[in-house]
Amino acid sequence: MKKTTDLTIVGHLAELRKRLVYCAVVFVSAVFIFYNFAEPVVKDIVNITPETNFVFIAPAELLMSYVKIAVIGGLVISAPFILTQIWLFISPGLNSKERKYIIVSLFTGGIFFILGVIFSYIIVLPTMIVFFIGFQIEEIQPMISFSNYLSFVITTILSFGIIFELPIVMVLLTRFNIVKISLFKKNRKIFILVIFIIAAILTPPDVVSQVLLAIPMLALFEIGIILSSIFEKKKKLKTPS
């Protein structure tokens, strides 16, 4: 079997097509498998706020919610295989140092993403839902569509999962000399302002949601500065004077 680096353009396209077909087959299979677990997932999501009665206002709304859960679950299940296929395609074109950085970044990034998802699901979501449900009066009874509720849950979880990647992104930017660590330190106030703006964009228009997202982002920003500083010091020690 030829190495990817030895292939022609047509060979690269054929190799890419093969990898994409593998990924598509595994992903679709994972979606069908996870669909069988959609109902338990729905019940668990509903149990975040057991005192709330949910409704569906369109005939296919609940079915489509199950499908949405199955797609996301299938993506999670098939993610290791898909990442492996991507890695097998691009790794021959990388040197050993680049391979090492990417492997470490993917592994660490996966851990941070999972931490963000867990943090949002256990702490943030219940707090936000209690806050929103508190805005009701006797004359207006809440009738929450499960589809809208599911979209809210998914958006919140993904937002926190992505935001928790911030330290990894900062380390990579400094590691590859795209950004100097001094930029983060000198412009800390500007970055704090940007963080609150991002939090306002990613969350519903209320102060509680924005603060719940902004505070972890600020902590992650500081963690990113610390990790970047550590790697920069190690790099200077390895570099001959």
- More confident position, 7 or 80: 80
DSSP characters over 62-102: HHHHHHHHHHHHHHHHHHHHHHHHHHHHHGGGS-HHHHHHH
Question: What does the pLDDT read at residue 1?
Answer: 45
| 44, 125: one domain | no
Q: Write down the pLDDT at residue 213.
A: 77
The answer to the question of residue 181 being in a domain is: yes
| Domain extent at residue 83 | 1-93
C-alpha to C-alpha distance for 148 and 92, rounded to whole angstroms: 44
Instruction: Mark whether 222 and 165 lie in a shared domain.
Output: yes
The pLDDT of residue 6 is 55
- Write down the pTM of the prediction: 0.75
Mean local confidence (pLDDT), 212-216: 81
62-99: b (≥16 Cβ within 10 Å) or e: beebbeebbbbbbeebbeeebeebeeebeeeeeeeeee
Beta-carbon contacts of residue 83 (< 8 Å; ≥ 6 apart): 106
Same domain, 128 and 70: no
> What pLDDT band is residue 224 in, cutting at 50, 70 and 90?
confident
Q: Are residues 77 and 163 in the same domain?
A: no
Task: Single out the residue in 58, 93, 128 at which a domain terminates.
Answer: 93
* pLDDT tens digit sequence for 181-194: 888 888 888 888 88
Residue 124: which pLDDT band, with cuts at 50, 70 and 90? Answer: confident
> Mean pLDDT across the stretch 5-31?
83
Residue 74 predicted with pLDDT over 80: yes
The answer to whether position 113 is within a domain reads no
pLDDT at residue 203 is higher than 70: no
64 and 163 in a single domain? The answer is no
Q: What is the pLDDT of residue 21?
A: 93
Q: Per-residue pLDDT tens for 133-189?
A: 777 677 777 778 888 889 888 888 888 888 888 888 888 888 777 878 888 888 888
Assess if residue 8 is contained within a domain: yes
